[in-house]
Amino acid sequence: MSSSQSPETVASRSGAKPKTFTFKVVLLGESAVGKSSLVTRFARNQFDQYKESTIGAAFVTKEVPLDSNAIANLHIWDTAGQERYKSLAPMYYRNAAAAIVVYDITQAESFGKAKSWVQELKRQAGSAIVIALAGNKTDLSNRRTVSREEGSSYAESLGLLFFETSAQSGENVEELFSELAKKIPRSAEPARN
């Protein structure tokens, strides 16, 4: 039996066409923590510099299975550095069903910044938004300055999903997006970009 969870497998196993739920997901966090790299790893299973122009309204889509008869079609928005201009941020997270707030485990300052993004989302994005906290760059754990416990206990205190990831090695990247998708209430669709 195949362990593959591709949408095709889901469809053929249940014998019916799975229902697709479309959700908008945004990535937030300090510059250079690896937001673009996480999206590239997840959507294309690649790690590169992602230097293409993603200025303005850029998102990628990727389907993930939710269960035997449902698929999430994620519209994943990478802010492409524009999150530095505070006033533009609400444009990204408005109408988002979920947000991934990323920090770099080797940069304690980026963890502080992640906390302020979480606070802003809690205040401004509506209580229904599902938030995941991602401590990225675990392949550089010899340079770690934020412990796993710091990240997980902060996430737990606020009811956030928490993963430590590496866009470079791929560790936990699939899990991050797929667990997030499963936590989104299906009533959160459709994605309104």
Residues that bind ligand GDP (CB under 6 A): 29, 31-37, 49-50, 136-137, 139-140, 166-168
Q: Which residues contact 111 (CB under 8 A, 6 or more apart)?
A: 103, 105, 135, 146, 150, 151
Residue nearest to ligand GDP (CB): 34
CB of 81 to ligand GDP, least distance (A): 6
The DSSP annotation for 33-74 comes to SSHHHHHHHHHHS--S---S---SS-EEEEEEEEETTEEEEE
**Judging by DSSP bridges, how do beta strands 130-136 and 161-164 pair with one another?**
parallel
CB of 33 to ligand GDP, least distance (A): 4
Q: Which is nearer to ligand GDP, 71 or 105 (CB)?
A: 105
Residue 83's beta-bridge partner residues?
none
DSSP state of 18: P
CB of 67 to ligand GDP, least distance (A): 29
Q: Which is nearer to ligand GDP, 7 or 47 (CB)?
A: 47
User: Taking Cα atoms as reference points, which of 175, 173, 180 lies closest to residue 46?
Assistant: 173
**Judging by DSSP bridges, how do beta strands 59-67 and 70-78 pair with one another?**
antiparallel
CB of 140 to ligand GDP, least distance (A): 5
Q: Which is nearer to ligand GDP, 21 or 117 (CB)?
A: 117
> Which helix (H) or strand (E) element contains residue 119?
helix 108-124
Q: Which is nearer to ligand GDP, 24 or 83 (CB)?
A: 83
CB of 102 to ligand GDP, least distance (A): 6
Q: Which is nearer to ligand GDP, 70 or 140 (CB)?
A: 140
